[in-house]
């Protein structure tokens, strides 16, 4: 299975979640569009087991900005047709850039990559004041596109009422809760991967 990891915003924790998914599922990793450095692919490499294969990006852009703007700065036009899922016998974790409606160009959004390459979406929702609205808007955007959503991963300081009302309105399962960690390393990722495996087929 190919999983597309999206978030309710940039910095929501998609790269951390992608590392946890790769570790839990023994999956490979692909970031189709990287805007700015360090490369998320290098971060996932450093957080996961040697066996996790990292595929090269379709686009690596120099500026940490929206891909449409970063591409223009580099004199590149992003084309949806260039996104072809790498071939692997393993599950594949595909990480978006920013949130769903981050533009790739004047026509397409990051979430338009998902139906081309993935079987299901995993939504990362960090928990800040305002995140209920951002999460439910994202769920609406995914539903409008009829994309199957495997579930939500909450990241950040526990907020049971926010989590409850998001799950209530979205009808989605919670796959994992990640709390703020002082250190994020391979051990942290392995610990969360074990928890994720317990919930995966629940
Ligand atoms: N639970 C957590 N505890 C501590 N630090 C965290 C946690 N979750 C994420 N971070 C840190 O927050 C930053 C942003 O997270 P991350 O890089 O995973 O976001 P992202 O959604 O992948 O962003 P992008 O849109 O750039 O791909 C990173 O430095 C990451 O290590
Ligand atoms: C540079 C950053 N880390 C991400 N790769 C891209 C985030 C784009 C956000 C655009 C926006 O929603 O305003
Ligand atoms: Mg990332």
Q: What is the CATH number of the domain that holds 135?
A: 3.40.50.300
Q: What is the DSSP string of 119-160?
A: SEEEEEEE-STTHHHHHHHHHHHHHHTT--EEEEEEESS--H
Q: In the structure, what pLDDT confidence band is assigned to residue 147 with cuts at 50, 70 and 90?
A: very high
Pocket-testing residue among 10, 36, 59, 68, ligand 2, by greatest number of atoms within 8 A of Cβ: 10
The pLDDT value given to residue 1: 98
Residues involved in catalysis = 31
Residues, CB-to-ion distance under 5 Å, ligand 3: 14-15, 40
Pocket-testing residue among 13, 40, 95, 184, ligand 1, by greatest number of atoms within 8 A of Cβ: 13
> Residue 28 contacts by C-beta under 8 Å, 6 or more apart in sequence?
22, 52, 53, 54, 55, 86, 88, 90, 91, 92, 93
Q: What is the pTM of this model?
A: 0.98
The pLDDT value given to residue 87: 97
On the question of pLDDT at 163 being above 90, the answer is: yes
Q: In the structure, what pLDDT confidence band is assigned to residue 202 with cuts at 50, 70 and 90?
A: confident
As for how many domains the chain has, the answer is 1
- Give pLDDT tens digits for 110-140: 999 999 999 999 999 999 999 999 999 999 9
Q: In the structure, what pLDDT confidence band is assigned to residue 64 with cuts at 50, 70 and 90?
A: very high
Phi, psi of 100 (to 5 degrees): -60, -45
> What residues make up the domain containing 130?
2-200
């Amino acid at each position: 299975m190919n999983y597309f990891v999206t978030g309710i915003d940039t910095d929501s924790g998609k790269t951390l979640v992608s590392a946890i998914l790769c570790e839990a599922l023994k999956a490979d990793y692909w970031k189709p569009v990287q805007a700015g450095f360090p490369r998320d692919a290098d971060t996932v490499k450093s957080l996961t087991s040697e066996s996790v294969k990292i595929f090269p990006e379709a686009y690596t852009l120099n500026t940490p900005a929206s891909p449409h703007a970063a591409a223009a700065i580099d004199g590149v036009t992003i084309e949806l047709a260039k996104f072809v899922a790498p071939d692997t016998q393993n599950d594949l974790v595909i990480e978006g850039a920013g949130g769903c409606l981050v533009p790739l160009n004047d026509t397409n959004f990051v979430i338009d990559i998902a139906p081309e390459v993935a079987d299901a979406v995993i939504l990362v929702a960090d928990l800040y004041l305002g995140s209920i609205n951002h999460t439910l808007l994202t769920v609406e955007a995914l539903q409008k596109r009829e994309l199957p959503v495997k579930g939500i991963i909450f990241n950040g300081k526990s907020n049971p009422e926010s989590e409850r009302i998001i799950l209530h309105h979205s009808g989605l399962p919670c796959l994992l809760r990640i709390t703020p960690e002082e250190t994020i390393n391979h051990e942290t990722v392995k610990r969360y991967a074990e928890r994720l495996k317990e919930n995966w087929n629940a």
